[in-house]
Structure 1
Amino acid sequence: MLEVGCGHGFVTRELVRRAGGTVTAVDLDADAVFAARAHAKGPDLLLAAADARKLPFADGSFDLVFFQNTLMWIDPAEDALKEAARVLQTGGALVALEPDYGGMIEEPDLGLRNIWLDALERAGADPVIGRRLPQLAEDVGLDPWVEFAHIPRAAESDELALLEELPLTMGQRRLLEGARGIIAGAQGSWSVFLHVPYVLLVTPGA
């Protein structure tokens, strides 16, 4: 199988555990690939730096191509989907799991949804890729099956870790610190509820 956009390898590690075969994981960022070597290991794991829009693999090389939180960072995402379809074997499956921050639910309203949307856009990501994913797949000739995949749970402060790494204004950082305090005070109870919907797309190889 091929994982596109492996980042630091946290998902890769789980894929290696579950795959029962060779896992090839790629990311455009060579530093991320280097970090992934520390988090994901195994004799059947291959790691490489590669552009999702121009994969260095022959047609029909993989029985499964997997994206998670990756297509939101690729412009245009259609090019990555085309490449995934090209390297996918007949009868294989393309699987993508991508968020839609435009559909984020927060109770009470801590202002986090607007911060996520603004910060992701300024970082070059598409924060509403989830809702666009089915049409993008159809546009490149794929036949998608779609469902929502993320299970709601009580808010935890670690959910804000990625947000802290994004380009934020001073005002947004103040709001974020206030939200972190409120979430920490809730101590995992449902008094604070954050939910980002994830779209799961599965499409068969041609």
Structure 2
Amino acid sequence: MSGAIVAPTRMALTMYKTKRVGAKKGYELLKKKSDALKVRFRDIMKDIARTKGNMADQGSSAFFSLTQAQYAAGDFRQQVLQGSLTASVRTSFITLDEALKVTNRRVNALENVTIPRIEAILAYINRELDELEREDFTRLKKVQGSKRTAQAAAEAAEEALHKAAAAAGARSSKSEGGFVKDVTAQYDTAGDSDIVF
């Protein structure tokens, strides 16, 4: 990948996908234009070849016509040279040739430089985004593992605390003679007829 470094983000991925679509559409349009110019170019070449083939016959008849015109009108070469003469087929041929060269250069640039560069950038962005997703997945797995370990340690500590509290409570509820104290004995039940202990 040559040129500027592209940040591998989702927005850059979307932007370069849009550029790829535009480049491919431009390539297709320029290719159609090039094909149309080639057809027109061939038509003009056929017309030029036909004209050159007829030049020998037309040259002899033109020379005869020029002689007749000079005999009738005198020397009029200066008026002809001062007038605007256009070789329209030849001018069209040259103009079309230049347009065809420019269009073919653009088609080749899109096909061989621009589109492959965009494809390379898209491949790079996709690779980097996949790598980032794998890193995030691994990081999440580690975080979940550490949370499970911390939760298991907290549960073990809580269970040990409950066991210790239960053991301490059992020791304090036994009397000196080894009998368990009656917890309900501390309440006066004489006034409560409906409570049975």
Query: Which TM-score tier does this pair reach, normalised by the shorter chain?
Result: under 0.3
TM-score, normalised on structure 2? 0.20
Q: Which has the higher contact order (CA 8 A, sep 6+)?
A: 2
**Which is richer in strand?**
1
TM-score scaled by length of structure 1: 0.20
Computing the radius of gyration from Cα coordinates, the structure with the larger value is: 2
